[in-house]
Amino acid sequence: MVMRLFFILLFATAAVGSPRDAYVISIGNYSTISGASVRDIEAAVKRIPNKGIWVRRDGREYVIVDEKTQRQTLAVFSPQMALQPEQRAVGREESRLDDQIDELQDQDHRTAAEEQRLSELRARMKVVARRERELDQKEQELEREAELRFWMLIDDAIRSGLAKPLTR
């Protein structure tokens, strides 16, 4: 059992890659970047046609335009993308509450009703902030899982020749 756990951890560590690994994904309406510098991003955008994936893996750069690999990549990141509508809604509510709280706090003299309203808004803001933290934590978990699966997909694409090596 211990040996099996060791191999699982070893495989997971290898699949995640080195800190030098990076990617730029631009497929349809979905774009994401990890580990890439501004220079990397600028170069990747020039090398990716209308849609594609640029990766730096183990110090080598590749571009992937294969449709199947792109669909698989979107599937890998889809749980994370599914959080975005709720994240945006929570962000809008937080902004709206901030504005209302600021408006009441800026008043020199507040009525009892306004004090009560301010207290209610602050309580609601705590609930919204807690939900935002929960969503952030969920996003981080999903991102870790997605990146592990993504790098496994990329390693397969490199081995099979679907990832085309680039030279600088």
Q: Taking the domains of the chain in order of start, what are their residue ranges? A: 17-166
- How high is the pLDDT of residue 48? 80
Q: Which residues pair with 53 in a beta bridge?
A: 25, 64
28, amino acid identity: G
- How high is the pLDDT of residue 11? 36
| Dihedral sign of CA atoms 27, 31, 32, 33 in order | positive
95, amino acid identity: S
- How high is the pLDDT of residue 18? 57
Closest CA to 23 of 7, 40, 39: 40
Low-confidence ranges of the chain (pLDDT < 70): 1-19, 168
pLDDT digits (tens, 9 = 90+) for 75-120: 999 999 999 999 999 999 999 999 999 999 999 899 999 999 999 9
Give the contacts of 167 (CB within 8 A, at least 6 positions apart): none
Closest CA to 52 of 24, 17, 81, 75: 24
24, amino acid identity: V
